[in-house]
């Protein structure tokens, strides 16, 4: 009788479901490809091997494959590459891969030797040797040093290239891991030194310590010589949060422990641990604190904030008197309010100065800000125009820093600079890998479905005939407030431009090119704007007779993989090639796979009928149909991707194959979300990708 009552209750509950809820349950039950979500399942890996072998066998026979692979590897292994600095104290650190160091070496040289242009490198850790010794395919994921001596570092290592890392303490003078030093087991977490004997730790502390997204849910202070389980807990979030992280912020000789509880991908509570108590900073949940300089907490706003009758606009950069903020007071100074065509792409500090990298019409300008007498003033940095500037190295002990400049046809140049004197000089330029004089860059705008003007860059041979026959590749992303700006197209140059291709970079909504609103107009129920923007750029290229659907392809990875998945399911008439890399595709289950739950602030919650109603309209896995004239899609992913589950691509390929469509599929066994762990793997991937594109778009 009890069992009957349970069944009856279940039937009654189901009968009360909305039509959308019934449909959701039926679609989940009908998914016959769930077995491909078992990452290392025997049957799943057999499927992966068969598909990958077939794809490699076909594409590696293309006439350009070997040349592209060889040229790409030469670029990735070139000894003339720029050695980008990471500065700790009196040394410059660098991680380097080449033909003799496939997995790379972590090394250092003195700052004086580095500045001389003839650094004498001292290898600290050889990842190839370590991998052989441990019989693990280690991937170096960075190191953070002990301030101010920097004689010890916390080294992060990934087994196979995923986001989850092991953390081990390393003595740089002895060039060895410290046997009884700090160690953390594998987790999507990390640690930061507070002092020599104290770490601020965010990791997997045991059952219930991680969030639904697979990130740490707690922050603790761990003392040397004690068990991790006995560490003092500073904060515990909810399992439904994205995660909780801790770290150290410094302002001169003062050190603060900061805790950030990320409630969603775009909202968080920020706390300061000071004097034995945790104080919540009274700033908007969607604001982004980026550091403290001269007792000024620098914060970027993602929405309007009104304080004492004054409104600070969305996208503005402000500062607050930090010590007063901890006492509940708000003394605010405006640093910068970008206009409608601008956004802040980078914020960094030296000992005394604030560096702000401003993106205007999708090219960068760099400014130095000083705080004096309660107000900020700025000076522009002299740097080349019409390209991308990146701040690549700062130092909290003085005002020296480095920045990089590049555009599509100008090789990257690293500049050594001084923020106090506002001087800079070229330090090193990348070698030219193709003849840039043959090409020109133009910026256009296309009108999207709702009238929004969407900018895009086009790189093509000078004076090309508008015949509609040029093989054209669009690269786009459109999500998470990520801005795409001009980059030196070294591998694209030799593998695509030199072979007659046209390269397009589309700055569609969902990105951050024009500030937070440009992003917010492409999330959740507004997501179709992102896809309409891509279609508008595609149609504009066709209307200009640069290309035609037979010669037009689009490429994207991760969220960009979702973008191109939508592109071919919604508008197969526009494209003849789709490169879909490490993609999201099953948008009904994305929040149940790996880090997917953390992205519901971007896409919405598919478990809520009202939100699934708009997600379902574009979910590629649910919109692929039989009998359509789809392009032959190339999917690429990694078995060890622990951010976007490889099951997305696997399931899509299996479903399309069963519908009778030809697909290309390659899954690299390692590499994580980056797709590759070594230069050889990158070169192979490049050759497969461009061989496919040339085959489909050039013939």
Neighbouring CB atoms inside 10 A of 45's CB total 16
CB 501, CB 420: distance < 8 Å? no
- Token digits for 46? 């057999």
CB 483, CB 514: distance < 8 Å? no
Whether 370 is catalytic is no
Residues 6+ apart with CB under 8 A from 249: 255, 256, 258, 291, 292
Among candidates 229, 283, 231, which has minimal Cα distance to 260?
283
Q: One of 72, 158, 558, 676 is an active-site residue; which one?
A: 558
Task: Go through 190-215 and write b for each residue having 16 or more CB atoms within 10 A of its CB, e for each that does not.
Answer: bbbbbeeebbbbbbbbeeebbbbbbb
Beta pairing, strands 218-223 & 232-236 = antiparallel
Q: Is 592 exposed, middle or buried (0-12, 13-18, 19+ CB in 10 A)?
A: middle
Give CA–CA dist 511/363, Å, rounded: 14
Among candidates 601, 607, 606, which has minimal Cα distance to 265?
601
- For helices 559-570 and 528-543, the axis angle rounded to 10 degrees is 60
H or E element: which one contains 378?
Answer: strand 375-380
User: What is the DSSP code (8-state) at residue 62?
Assistant: S
Give CA–CA dist 281/637, Å, rounded: 40
Q: One of 673, 677, 685, 691 is an active-site residue; which one?
A: 673
SS3 letters across 472-521: EEEECCCCCCCCCCCCCCHHHHHHCHHHCCEEEEECCCCCCCCCHHHHHC
Give CA–CA dist 495/68, Å, rounded: 6
Among candidates 424, 377, 378, 433, which has minimal Cα distance to 405?
424
Planar angle of CA 137, 139, 140, nearest 5 degrees = 145
Whether 390 is catalytic is no
CA distances from 492 to 248, 502, 612 (A): 39, 10, 38
End-to-end CA distance of the chain: 69
Neighbouring CB atoms inside 10 A of 568's CB total 24
Q: Is 428 exposed, middle or buried (0-12, 13-18, 19+ CB in 10 A)?
A: middle
Instruction: Return the active site residues.
Output: 558, 673
């Amino acid at each position: 009788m009890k069992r009957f009552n349970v069944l009856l209750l279940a039937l009654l509950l189901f009968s009360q479901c909305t039509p959308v809820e019934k449909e959701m349950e039926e679609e989940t039950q009908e998914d016959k490809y769930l077995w491909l979500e078992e990452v290392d399942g025997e049957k799943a890996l057999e499927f992966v091997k068969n598909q990958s072998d077939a794809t490699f066998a076909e594409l590696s026979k293309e006439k350009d494959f070997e040349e592209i692979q060889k040229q790409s590897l030469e670029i990735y292994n070139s000894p003339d590459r720029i050695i980008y600095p990471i500065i700790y104290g009196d040394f410059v650190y660098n991680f380097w891969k080449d033909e003799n160091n496939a997995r790379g070496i972590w090394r250092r040289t003195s700052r004086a030797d580095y500045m001389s242009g003839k650094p004498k490198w001292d290898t600290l850790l050889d990842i190839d040797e370590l991998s052989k010794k441990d019989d693990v395919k280690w991937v170096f994921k960075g190191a953070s040093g002990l301030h101010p001596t920097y004689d010890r570092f916390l080294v992060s290592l990934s087994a196979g290239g995923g986001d989850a890392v092991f953390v081990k303490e390393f003595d740089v003078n002895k060039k060895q891991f410290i046997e009884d030093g700090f160690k953390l087991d594998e987790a999507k977490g990390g640690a930061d030194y507070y002092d020599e004997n104290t770490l601020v730790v965010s990791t997997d502390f045991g059952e219930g310590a991680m969030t639904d997204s697979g990130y740490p849910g707690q922050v603790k202070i761990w003392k040397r010589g004690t068990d991790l389980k006995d560490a003092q807990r500073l904060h515990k979030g909810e399992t439904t949060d994205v995660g909780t992280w801790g770290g150290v912020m410094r302002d001169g000789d003062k050190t603060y422990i900061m805790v950030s509880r990320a409630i969603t991908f775009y909202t968080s509570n920020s706390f300061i641990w000071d004097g034995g108590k945790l104080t919540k900073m009274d700033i908007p949940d969607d604001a982004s604190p980026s550091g403290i300089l001269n007792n000024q907490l620098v914060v970027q706003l993602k929405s309007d904030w009104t304080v004492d009758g004054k409104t600070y606009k969305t996208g503005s950069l402000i500062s607050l008197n930090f010590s007063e903020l901890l006492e509940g007071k708000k003394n605010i100074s405006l640093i910068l309010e970008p206009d409608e065509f601008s956004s802040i792409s980078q914020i960094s500090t030296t000992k005394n100065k604030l560096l702000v990298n401003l993106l205007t019409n999708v090219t960068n300008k760099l400014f130095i800000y000083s705080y004096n007498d309660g107000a900020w003033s700025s000076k522009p940095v002299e740097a080349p125009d019409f390209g991308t500037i990146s701040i690549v190295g700062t130092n909290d002990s003085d005002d020296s820093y480095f920045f990089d400049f590049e555009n599509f046809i100008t090789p990257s140049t690293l500049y050594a600079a001084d923020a106090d004197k506002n001087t800079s000089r070229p330090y090193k330029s990348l070698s030219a890998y193709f003849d840039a004089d043959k090409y020109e860059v133009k910026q256009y705008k296309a009108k999207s479905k709702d009238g929004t003007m969407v900018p895009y860059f086009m790189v093509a041979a000078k004076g090309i005939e508008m015949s509609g026959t040029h093989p054209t590749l669009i690269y786009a992303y459109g999500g998470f407030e990520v801005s795409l700006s001009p980059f030196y197209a070294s591998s694209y140059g030799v593998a695509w431009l030199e072979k007659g291709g046209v390269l397009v970079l589309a700055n569609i909504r969902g990105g951050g090119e024009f500030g937070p609103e440009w992003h917010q107009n492409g999330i959740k129920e507004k997501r179709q704007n992102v896809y309409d923007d891509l279609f508008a750029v595609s149609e504009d290229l066709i209307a200009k007779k640069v290309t035609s659907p037979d010669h037009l392809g689009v490429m994207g990875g991760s969220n960009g993989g979702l973008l191109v998945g939508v592109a071919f399911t919604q508008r197969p008439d526009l494209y003849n090639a789709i490169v879909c890399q490490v993609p999201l595709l099953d948008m009904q289950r994305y929040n149940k796979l790996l880090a997917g739950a953390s992205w519901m602030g971007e896409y919405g919650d598919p478990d809520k009928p009202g939100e699934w109603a708009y997600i379902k309209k574009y979910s590629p896995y649910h919109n692929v149909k039989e009998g359509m004239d789809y392009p032959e899609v190339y999917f690429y992913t990694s078995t060890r991707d622990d951010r976007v589950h490889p099951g997305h691509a696997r399931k899509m390929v299996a479903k399309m194959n069963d519908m009778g469509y030809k697909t290309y599929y390659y899954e690299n066994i390692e590499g994580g979300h980056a797709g590759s762990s070594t230069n050889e793997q990158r070169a192979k991937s490049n050759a497969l990708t461009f061989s496919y594109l040339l085959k489909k778009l050039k013939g």
